[in-house]
Amino acid sequence: MNIIDSANLVYRKTPVMTDLTMHYCPGCSHGVVHKLVAEVIDEMDIQDKTIGIAPVGCAVFAYKYIDIDWQQAAHGRAPALATAVKRLLPDRYVFTYQGDGDLAAIGTAETIHACNRGENIVIIFINNGIYGMTGGQMAPTTLDGMKTATSPSGRSVPLNGYPLDMTKLLAELDGTCYVTRQSVHSLGAVRKTKKALRKAFENSMLEKGTSVIEVVSTCNSGWKMTPDESNKWMVENMFPKYPMGDLKDR
């Protein structure tokens, strides 16, 4: 019996993704999130009406992998650029895709003010607690005691301050309508993240305000672990500080 037949297809790569092999390290969470964004765009049939804003960081080349219109912003400025795009083209679905170094460090002002103005955009925030692209330096989101290239004996609160919970901060602002924290380490988590992404994209056309989706992610090469070990490490160490679930939904 021939199982491998198009009539029996259960899952395939969405056509909204390009055929290029992604430059991410093996097991990187970015790939899964890219795939989910592309699947949501495919299911909502909005490929011609979506504009993504690529960040600076590992995801800078996101525009090569998802076949939609893109702009690439200066470091941290993606929400500012998304504001302009959405205001000039209000019939488009506009989203930013940013890491923690981009959104929670250099782009703090842009992020907070875009959310406070309640821009009708989607902000996808990949939080892996480290600067992945530049070699695993400490980020504002790095956990207390976590070892990185610039904190080799672990982050120390008296010296470096507390880890910044950006999503909690954004949930307090009146301009945000949907703030949630998800992850992509298991089948169940992947499905929940996809639902959250779909809801956020739908919100952006309802003029309700900004939707923020934090995806707690791994950086296995920066954390110096295998992809499976880093997923387990994330569940044990990242989740207590960055718990899963909706922080705001109105």
Partner 1 sequence: MAKVKGAVVVDTEQCKGCDLCVVACPSDVLSLSKEANAKGYNYSFMSSPDDCVGCAACAYVCPDACITVYKVKI
Within 10 angstroms of residue 12's Cβ, the number of other Cβ atoms is: 7
- Candidate residues 167, 180, 183, 231; the one interacting with partner 1 per rule CB under 8 A: 231
Which of 3, 158, 236, 245 binds partner 1 (CB under 8 A)? It is: 3
| Cα–Cα distance for residue pair 239/136, rounded to 1 Å | 20
Stretch in the footprint of partner 1 (CB under 8 A) among 51-59, 76-84, 152-160, 183-191: 183-191
How many residues form the binding site for partner 1 (CB under 8 A)? 33
Other beta carbons less than 10 A from residue 75's beta carbon: 15
- Residue 88 makes contact with partner 1 by CB under 8 A: no
Q: Among 53, 115, 179, 184, which residue sits at the site for partner 1 (rule: CB under 8 A)?
A: 184
Residue 191 binds partner 1 (CB under 8 A): yes
Quick check: 43 binds partner 1 (CB under 8 A)?
no
CB distance 142 to 162 below 8 Å: no
Give min distance, CB of 141 to partner 1, in A: 21
Member of 88, 153, 159, 187 binding partner 1 (CB under 8 A) = 187
13/224 with CB nearer partner 1: 13
The span from the CA of 124 to the CA of 238, in Å, is 18
The per-residue b/e assignment along 108-126, b for 16 or more CB within 10 angstroms, e otherwise, is bebbbebbbebbbbbbbbb
Q: Is 9 in the site for partner 1 (CB under 8 A)?
A: yes
Report d(CA 110, CA 40) in Å as an integer.
26
183 phi/psi in degrees, rounded to 5: -150, 175
Chain positions contacting partner 1, by CB under 8 A: 1, 3-5, 8-14, 17, 21-22, 24-32, 35, 184, 186-187, 190-191, 226-228, 231
